Structures are given as C-alpha cells and as structure tokens.
Structure 1
Amino acid sequence: MSTHYETLHPADVYREAFAVEPPPAPDERHLWPRKPGGFIVHAAAAAAMATPPGEQAPAPAVDDKAAAARVLVPAQWGLVPHWVKSASDAKLRAPKLVNAKSDLASTGTAFRDAWLNGQRCIVPMMAFYEDDFRSGKAVPTRISRVDGKPMGVAGLWARWQGADGEVIVSYCLLTVNANNHALLHRYQQPGSEKSMPAILNEGAYDAWLTARPDKAKEFMRQYAATALTANPVEKKADKVPKGWLG
C-alpha cells in the first residue's frame, strides 16, 4: 500500500484537471502520513462538513450548479474517525489509516461510518510511490500516468472534533487488490497482498461523489496497466560512478 504520494504542481493543474481553485499556498510536493494535504468534494458537502455537531447545516444552494461545484478542502492525510476520544489518540491512529481496502471499507470499524454516510472524496496527485523488492532490497518507484496527467484517487473523509473544540478534517485513499495487475503486482513486500489506489476515470469524478453507498463499490476497479508507468527513484548515492573514491 502507498504511504507516499506527490501533490500537484504547478498550481494551474488543479484548475485544468479538476476544475477547483488551488490551495492559497503550495502544498509540500511529497506527502507522507499525517501531513497536510487536501481532497476534492462538491461545495455542498464542504459546507456541511464545516458545520459543528449539533448545529443545522446550511440550506442547500438555490443554484444547483453552485452546490455541485467542486472545491479543494485542506485536510490531514490519515483518517481520524469521529469517535476517537482525544487528539493524542488521533495522532496515533492517523498514520495507520492512510489507506482503506475498498472491499472492507463498508464494514471496517475505522472507515464504516464514512463509507455509509457517503463521505467520499477525490484525492488529486501526480504520482504515488511503491517499493520494488525484486533486487532483494527496497527500491522506491514512482508510479504515474503515461500521459503525465494527474490522477484523481477515490477516498473517504472524516471530521473529528475534540472536547476542547479542536477540529481535524482528514482523509484516506481507497485501494483495490492488485495481485493480478500487470504492473502493480511487482511491487510491495514479497508474499503480501498487492494493492493499488483506486484511480478514477476523469468522467466519473462527479458520479463518484454523488453515488449511493450501495453503488459506490462499482467505482472500485483497477486502473489499466498500459496507462501507467513506473520509474525507479534515483538517489544521490546512485549518481556516484562505481569505483570513484573522491
């Protein structure tokens, strides 16, 4: 499973690929668990998640287009379920909840409420990283689209509020089994179940956000191997010619 992905750069890519305004300040290019990132939802969902528990959510917009417009929501990568009791507990759980297996999302304790409540989102990224162990050691590998365009990955979001009023908006990526995927089966720990982010087709973005829970799993499919490319990440040490002593 991926615990490292690359955000969108330059900022205009957000508008071109997802029809959302970019973040006010550029995100860190490389994102890791519990770091600030962001996800995309419709404006109506963003307004509802900003409403404190016990208060009435804003009335739906009169203009359906305004309610259905996509917005980018700043959030932490690593889901914090609403039932977590403290901020310290949230910090411990979040790094373990950056990914959710799509076949277990509707039943797993940490993700069930978000799935059943339709708290679905799209996570924009340029690439994700997996380790290649075929040489006997872990070789970080960048997985991206062949055409260089960004990916919209299916995700779930949650809003947690502590007793002192602290609020954490968070999200996770949804993954699908990749044991038989022509490309992704090569990566991750030997002997482990292979997985890959549930990459959405561009034309399915709005349908994914609005699908009924019983229809949402229809979007959980492998992305075509022919549309992806994998490139080992070069490290500084790799640039030193063999036999060169300095």
Structure 2
Amino acid sequence: MTAHFESVHNAALYPDAFDVAAPTQAFERDVWPRKAGVFIRNAAATSHPAAPIADATPALPLQRELGYGQFGLVPPWVKSASDAKLRSTKLINARSETVTTSNNFRDAWLNGQRCIVPIMAFFEDDWRSGKAVPTRIARVDGKPMGVAGLWERWEKEGVEIVSFTLLTVNANSHALLHRYQQNGNEKRMPAILGEGAYAAWLNTHPEKAREFMRAYPANLLTANPVEKK
C-alpha cells in the first residue's frame, strides 16, 4: 500500500510535464492520508457522465484541469462527514483488478472520474533487514511521474469533500518493488502512467481503461533509503 508520496511542488513543471496550468492553491509537499493534494482530471467528465460500457460513442473532449482534494477517497454512499473521515484513510489505494466490483470505487470508475496524480516520488518500507526502512522511489532521471487515480465529490448537509485515490497494480514480479513492503503480503505499486498515455487515460472509455494498468519498468526507477534527521 502506498500511503505516502511527495507531490510536485515546482509549479513550473506542470505545463511542460502535464500540459496543465500551474497550481494556484496551497497543498502538501508530503502527502499522507487525508492531507491535501492535487490531481489532473478531464473537466468534461465533471459535467457529462461517461458513456455506458456498451456504448461505442466517441469519447468526451479533453479539457485538462487541476483538482484539489484530500488523499483518501470518500464514496458517494457515505452517510456523514464523520463516517467519511474514518473511511477515507482506508481508501487511499484502489486495486486495479477489483475496481469495477468494489463498492468503494465502482461508481468513480464507471463514471469516467479518472485522474492523474502528479508525484515526484512515493515511499515504501524496506523490511529486508528485519526493520522498516523508509525508502524513496523516484524516476532515475528525476522527472515527475503521473499516477493513475480516481477522484470523487461527496456532498451532504452543506459539507463538500473532494477526494482522490491511487490505483495500484501487482508488483510481486517487479524487479525493484518486490523488495519492499512486508513479506507474506502481496506486493503492490502505484499504476504509473507513461508520459505519452496521459491524454488517453483521461479520455478513454471505462472498458478501455484497464489497458493502462501496468507495472512501470524497473530500470526507469531508483530507490534510496530516507535519511533520518
């Protein structure tokens, strides 16, 4: 499970790396569950529900925009703000294999509420020594990464919560990520998108979106233990 990531705080990187305007609101550099973060979505999907899975009509026009919300998704069926607070910390990751059947994420997936979460790095624990060693995982070239995600808007009794989650894929056979997280558990990693796939991910139909759920090449990633201050 990826519970901590480093956001892209250099505003100048957004137009070049993600073809979207730079952020204008404050958000966290180190993002943990329920902390504020940013994501990129298709603005057309906020006002036009996605076509049904069986529908072959053309995809919506692509209008990239930045969204601001908390890390940890709040499903629309949650009954109260207090319940949202409790549930969202457990919904920071969505398994790509079960996203269409999960009561927590199904609506966001089928409604085309896909997003890209811009990150510089994500953190996993290295347990090979018998103790958890926090490790920063980033691109070898130091460039930002775009992680596939889902976003949601919850509103009740005058309270609105915009939230997002990271989609994950199996990493048991990944040359780098199989080393991290506790032994005995399935290894997972964020679904990092190829730079050339950003537009297609935001604009594709739900039945095609699964094709983007792949493990990012290990040779393009580097892992470094986090120095304790």
TM-score (norm 1): 0.86
Query: Aligned to 1:186, which of 170, 179, 192?
Result: 179
Partner AA of 2:173 in structure 1: N
Aligned to 1:74: 68
What SS does the corresponding residue of 1:24 show, helix, strand or coil? Answer: coil
Q: Tell me the distance in 1 between the aligned counterparts of 2:122 and 2:71.
A: 14
Aligned residues: 220
Following TM superposition, the consecutive aligned residue runs of length 4 or more in structure 1 with deviations greater than 3 angstroms are 46-49
Q: Tell me the distance in 1 between the aligned counterparts of 2:170 and 2:217.
A: 13
Quote the offset at 1:46 in angstroms.
4.3
Alignment of 1:224 with 2:217, yes or no, is yes
Contact 1:132 1:139 in 2 (8 A): yes
Alignment of 1:111 with 2:84, yes or no, is no
Contact 2:62 2:203 in 1 (8 A): no
Render the CA deviation track for 1:70-113: whole Å, top value 9, x for unaligned. Answer: 11111111000011000000000001000001001110110111
What SS does the corresponding residue of 2:211 show, helix, strand or coil? Answer: helix
Q: Tell me the distance in 2 between the aligned counterparts of 1:182 and 1:223.
A: 10
Aligned to 2:88: 94
Q: Tell me the distance in 1 between the aligned counterparts of 2:99 and 2:45.
A: 20
Aligned to 1:28: 28
Q: Tell me the distance in 2 between the aligned counterparts of 1:113 and 1:169.
A: 15
Which protein has the bigger helix share? 1
Name which one, 1 or 2, has greater alpha-carbon Rg. Answer: 1
Q: Tell me the distance in 2 between the aligned counterparts of 1:74 and 1:47.
A: 17
Alignment of 1:212 with 2:208, yes or no, is no
Structure 2: any 5+ residue segments left out of the alignment? 50-59
Alignment of 1:84 with 2:84, yes or no, is no
Query: Aligned to 2:168, which of 175, 179, 182?
Result: 175
Partner AA of 1:125 in structure 2: I
Report percent identity of matched pairs: 66
Quote the offset at 1:48 in angstroms.
5.7
Structure 1: any 5+ residue segments left out of the alignment? 50-64, 237-246
Quote the offset at 1:24 in angstroms.
1.7
What SS does the corresponding residue of 1:126 show, helix, strand or coil? Answer: strand
Alignment of 1:12 with 2:12, yes or no, is yes
Q: Tell me the distance in 1 between the aligned counterparts of 2:86 and 2:9.
A: 30
**Compared with structure 1, are the counterparts of its residues 39 and 48 closer, same or farther at alpha carbon in structure 2 (3 Å cutoff)?**
farther
Q: Tell me the distance in 2 between the aligned counterparts of 1:133 and 1:178.
A: 16
Contact 1:11 1:26 in 2 (8 A): no
Aligned to 2:196: 203
What SS does the corresponding residue of 1:96 show, helix, strand or coil? Answer: coil
Quote the offset at 1:43 in angstroms.
2.5
